[in-house]
């Protein structure tokens, strides 16, 4: 009776499990709250007002949790050092208090100045979504600073009973404004770094499965014979990786309209990533069989939401214990560095991919010595 109706039961089991599974995969991205966003601040003004504003900026700790501020301010002595940090993806933005900040504010009352500007530099390439939020946060902060400076000056004028001309009063309304500059702009490539992930990962998954089936059911005379076959699998995987890497690059330009700054570098990087993923997946599938594919399929759904978020928006557990172990993070980080920061092919992400590749190769060739392996006529060696 059960055998005839087991698929009805399995349908309910699948519905219960799959709905739970796909909800659980969204835990990291559910209501993300940014914390400890690294922002550099430069104070070039040695006047009283400049020091006051610097203290107000670095003292801002907006957060729902008093112990975990939204912004992690870092003081830099000049704009060049701050920009160097942004080039290395250390800061999401820099706010600069100009050299003549105090002088320009005082000059408004003497009709010698139109006010002053705080410079905001947004590092968009680190994470476009969070960079947009940071831009809004800093712009709002400058607006509040303008209001505070304005109120303070009007109060002092009222005490001194000084009347201002209409023109000067108008300038006082926007005595502190902001000038925003965007560096490492994503332009029309905002989704490119994440857009490469699914094609490369899925193609690697299917390629590894096909290579596994190519060896399944074959009879081998000895371990040496099996080792040569596995070497052939690795060689074919390298050709597949180059194919998928450059085709993904070409398709992204032709179909998605991406104008990649260095398409050849991108193609080779994606090829290295694809080869590393194929090696890793094939290694586990060699030992576990087809169920090993399911592991990496599930990994796709768990990792996709995490890879879209900036580290400052990921819950502590996932940031510390999950994200560092995801092999696809090297693909995201590396493509971001090449596309937005002009990095060369050899970078830290490629080093990480080589480690992933090495692990996969070790697992692949260690399967030669599996106790489950049998050879023709029971021979183990030539």
Res 219: pLDDT: 76
Of the pLDDT bands very low, low, confident and very high (cuts 50, 70, 90), residue 244 is: very high
Token pair recorded at residue 353: 């991919």
Same domain, 368 and 314: yes
Token pair recorded at residue 224: 């040496």
* Cα–Cα distance, 289 to 298 (Å, whole number): 16
Kindly report the backbone phi and psi dihedral angles of residue 116, in degrees, each rounded to the nearest multiple of 5, phi listed first.
-140, 165
Least-confidence region, from 70-74, 103-107, 161-165, 299-303: 161-165
Full domain range(s) for residue 99: 37-185
Task: Please give the span between the terminal C-alpha atoms of the chain, in angstroms, as a whole number.
Answer: 53
What is 288-344 written as a DSSP string? H-THHHHHHHHHHHHHHHHHHS-GGGS-HHIIIIIGGG-TTHHHHHHHHHHHHH---
SS3 for 27?
helix
Same domain, 218 and 324: yes
pTM, two decimal places: 0.85
Q: How many domains does the chain have?
A: 3
Same domain, 168 and 266: no
Same domain, 92 and 221: no
* Per-residue model confidence as pLDDT tens digits over 2-36: 566 777 788 888 898 888 888 877 877 777 888 89
Res 370: pLDDT: 80
| Chain centre to alpha carbon of residue 14 | 33
* Range of 70-74, 116-120, 220-224, 235-239 with top mean pLDDT: 235-239
Kindly report the backbone phi and psi dihedral angles of residue 70, in degrees, each rounded to the nearest multiple of 5, phi listed first.
-65, -40
Q: Which residue blocks in the chain are alpha helix, DSSP H?
A: 2-24, 48-58, 79-87, 101-109, 128-160, 166-173, 192-195, 197-215, 223-254, 263-288, 291-308, 316-317, 329-341, 348-366
User: Pick the residue with more confidence: 241 or 175?
Assistant: 241
Assess whether pLDDT exceeds 90 at residue 174. no
Could you say which DSSP state residue 195 is in?
Answer: H
Same domain, 22 and 56: no
Least-confidence region, from 181-185, 275-279, 313-317, 376-380: 376-380
Same domain, 67 and 199: no
Same domain, 342 and 221: yes
């Amino acid at each position: 009776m059960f055998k005839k109706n087991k698929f009805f039961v399995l349908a309910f089991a699948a519905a219960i499990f799959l709905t739970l599974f796909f909800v659980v995969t969204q835990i990291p991205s559910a209501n993300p709250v940014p914390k400890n966003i690294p922002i550099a601040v430069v104070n070039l003004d040695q006047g009283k007002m400049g020091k006051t504003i610097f203290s107000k900026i670095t003292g801002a700790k907006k957060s729902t949790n008093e112990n975990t501020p939204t912004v992690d301010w870092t003081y830099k002595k000049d704009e060049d050092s701050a920009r160097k940090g942004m080039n290395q993806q250390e800061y999401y933005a820099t706010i600069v208090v100009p050299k003549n900040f105090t002088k320009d504010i005082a000059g408004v009352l003497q009709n010698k100045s139109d006010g002053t500007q705080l410079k905001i530099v947004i590092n968009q390439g680190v994470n476009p979504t969070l960079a947009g939020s940071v831009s809004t946060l800093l712009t709002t902060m400058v607006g509040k600073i303008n209001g505070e400076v304005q109120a303070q000056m009007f109060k002092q004028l009222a005490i001194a009973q000084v009347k201002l001309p209409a023109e000067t009063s108008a300038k006082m309304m926007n005595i502190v404004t902001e000038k925003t500059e965007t560096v490492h702009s994503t332009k029309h490539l905002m989704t490119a770094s994440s857009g490469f992930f699914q094609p490369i990962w899925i193609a690697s998954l299917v390629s590894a499965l096909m290579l596994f089936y190519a060896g399944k059911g074959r009879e081998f005379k000895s371990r040496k014979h099996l080792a040569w076959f596995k070497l052939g699998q690795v060689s074919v995987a390298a050709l597949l990786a180059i194919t998928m890497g450059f085709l993904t690059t070409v398709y992204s330009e032709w179909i998605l309209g991406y104008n990649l700054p260095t398409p050849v570098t991108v193609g080779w990087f994606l090829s290295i990533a694809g080869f590393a993923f194929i090696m890793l997946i094939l290694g586990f599938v060699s030992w576990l069989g087809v169920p090993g594919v399911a592991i990496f399929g599930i990994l796709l759904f768990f990792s996709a939401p995490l890879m879209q978020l900036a580290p400052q928006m990921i819950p502590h557990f996932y940031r510390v214990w999950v994200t560092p172990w995801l092999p696809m993070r090297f693909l995201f980080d590396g493509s971001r560095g090449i596309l937005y920061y002009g990095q060369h092919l050899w970078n830290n992400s490629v080093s990480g991919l080589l480690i992933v590749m090495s692990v996969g190769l070790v697992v692949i060739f260690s399967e030669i010595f599996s106790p489950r392996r049998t050879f023709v006529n029971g021979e183990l060696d030539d």
